[in-house]
Structures are given as C-alpha cells and as structure tokens.
Amino acid sequence: MANVAVVGSQWGDEGKGKIVDWLSSRADVVVRFQGGHNAGHTLVIDGVTYKLSLLPSGIVRKGKLSILGNGVVIDPWAFLKEIEIVRAKGVEISPKNLMIAENAPLILPIHGHIDRAIEEARGDKKIGTTGRGIGPAYQDKVARRGLRVCDLEHPEIVRDKLETLVAYNNALMRGFGWAEMSVDEIYDSLMGIADQILPYAGVVWKRLDEAKYNNEKILFEGAQGHMLDVDHGTYPYVTSSNIVAAQAAVGSGIGPKSIGYVLGITKAYTTRVGSGPFPTELLDATGDKIGEKGHEFGTVTGRKRRCGWFDAVLVRQAVKTGGIDGIALTKLDVLDGFDELKICVGYQLDGKEIDYFPASQVHQANVKPIYQTIKGWSKTTQGARKWADLPSSAIKYIKTIEELIGAPVTLLSTSPDRDDTILMQDPFFG
C-alpha cells in the first residue's frame, strides 16, 4: 500500500479530475498541495457534473477528508462561493470533511487587481494568466508581507499586514495607471467573512502525520501540469508554483518518503491554454478536429485550448524530473477515426537533433518536432473497460507511448465517466 501523488505531465487539462475522483474511492484523505482557484477539475458522477477550482476532488465523496495544504493560495471569497455551489448539488461540506492549512496564504482583491494590470501592461507579450491573483499572492508570500489563514484570528495583525501589503501593491498600481485600493475596504470585507473561514482552519501537517500513523491512504492532488511548473516548465509562460510531485511533500507538510507512488495524468494528444511555446501544435483542420472532438475549452476560463500531437519528449522529461512511476492515459477515444497519428520523438534545433526540451525560451520557441507516424483505428474506443475491447492499432499506439516515455500506462481512461477506466495497476495496492 502506498500514498499516491497525482500530477499533470503536460500543460494541464489532462483529465486529473476524473482520475483523482476514481482514485479517491480508494483513499481516506485527499490533499491539494499547490496552486489556487485558477485550476479546473471536471467530474462526472452518476450523470451529475461538478466543476471544481479550489476544492479537492475528494470533496464529492462521502467519508473522505479533503485538505487544502499550505502550498495552496486561498481566495477566501472564492472558497466560500465554491462551497455554496457544490452544496447546491447535494454535497455535504463542513469542517468535518474539509480542512485548510492554518499557514496557507490568502489571495486578496488587490492581488487580482494587480495581476490584471501587469498582464495588460505586457501588451502582445501576455503570459496568459487567469487574472485571479495567484502570482501576486505567491509573490507577497515569498516577500514575507502576505496574510495567512491563521492571521484571521487576530484583527490587529490583519490590519498591520494589510498596511504594508496594500502600500506596496498600490505603488505598482500608480505605475500602471490603475486605480489604487483601500486598506479599509479590504479589511472590512475580509473580517466580514473571517468567522466563516476559521472553522475550516487546522494543523494540516499534524493531521497528515496522524493519517500516516493510522495507515490511512492519502491521495495528493496537483493542479495544472508539469510544463507549467515555475522551475521545470516553459518559463516565463508558467504558473507561479511548483507542480512536480516533490511539492506534494512541501505543500502539505509531510515527509517526501511518505509519497509512495507518483501517477502522471497524460492526455493521448497535447493541449495548452494561453501563450507560450508548443512544438506539436496543429494550426490546421486536424487541430480543429481534435479540439472539437475533445471539447477542449478551459473549465475555469472557457478559453479554447490549443491542440497538437502527442509529444513524447515533453512527457519523458516530466517522467524523469517529476519522479513519475506510471501514467494514466486519458482521452484516447478522441483519436478514434484518424487514418494516421503522429508522435513527437525528438526535436530539430539549429540543424541538430536533440532528445530533450531546452530551458531557454528562445530555444523552446525554435525547436521543430521530429515525428513518428502510427496507423490510426476506425473502431471506437469510447467507453471501453477491458484491454480486449481496444482495437489492435490503439494498443500499438499505447505501447509506443510507453516505450518512448519510459513509463507504463497504469490507467486508461476512455470517456469522462469514472467507470470507463481500464486498470492495469492499482497505484494504492499495486
């Protein structure tokens, strides 16, 4: 038995929500360990669709404890609103089944304000941020001027910290020509909901240590994808946190040895939202067809996703730098009906062949994919629940991916329905 960390191995939107929900039926505790409400997980359970941004996917399962770790930045207003929306669909949510780390940083209205101002100032060089204040909140955390959940117990601390935080950010606002924000307004709004937030606050690291001692199974849920990691992704077109599985330990307060298995969620093709390099992007009818069949629109933003062929170089790099033990391959059914498929197996850069994705943004923008062509299949894979239900060409496609990325496919998803899943190896029980 092993605790499991689930991470995206591409640019996010790989279908983590369904897989985490599927795994959460085997877990006792589900933990979000990074990011904020810029994430988007869609779950379909018994015909009911749940769209989650901040809450862990385990929240829709009875008898599970859901946790937001210290690595998550929490917008308290978005937190309460999401609870209200999910409750309206019949899900019970209370401090009995939901805990937030007392040392988790808070996203304030001024963070979203400055986030949008900075993005607008970039002009045609936009990063593609959601404008929800994630980056500025992390910036204030690292600069040691941020507010944390535990501060809400002490109004005098809140006001004192706000004076410093708002003064800094308002100076930036003036520089961008945007309206400044009032300390009093933010303070009054924040303290007005403090009593609704504090009951959920707890000592997460201690609760997880107890879970480990009691042999409870813990599922660590990441947001976004490996190539959006602030260190290992397509910098600067990345998110503001670490996404790799090592962050599960740091972002929740548990030792790294407590994470026994890392599952990389991997789409059978590649997508990305927003700006930044994308070597296998298809700017043609094939790309449009993949997007239409895959319903490739962002859960949070509604933005159309860019689509392209599977990039084995990127995923192999995620496997190696992220410690991924096996992958869950999703959306295979979207590729049904293509006469042929292509897989990127290397790059050309300045006339040379390379087998990795370079760190330089100049080189990332200039690499050209080297493709291997695979025969497609006409028989549908949608809804398949057994390996024997798959056409031989689909099996060959999967086996080729395994060989190229250096990791086995342990789970195969063939539709958004949680039961349409083929299990080759149970990450919890082997």
Residues that are catalytic: 13, 41
Please confirm whether the linkage preceding 277 is cis (ω < 30° from 0): no
Chain centre distance of CA 211: 24
Chain centre distance of CA 6: 9
Q: What is the CA radius of gyration of the chain?
A: 22
String of DSSP letters for 95-124: TTTEEEETTPBBP-HHHHHHHHHHHHHTGG
* Residues 222 and 243 sit within 8 Å (Cβ to Cβ): yes
Task: Count each helix (H run) and each strand (E run) in the chain, helices first.
Answer: 12, 18
* Residues 42 and 255 sit within 8 Å (Cβ to Cβ): no
Phi, psi of 27 (to 5 degrees): -100, 165
Report the C-alpha gap between 219 and 32 in whole angstroms. 9
| Spatial CB neighbours of 94, under 8 Å, sequence gap ≥ 6 | none
Which residue, 124, 129, 48, is CA-closest to 86? Answer: 48
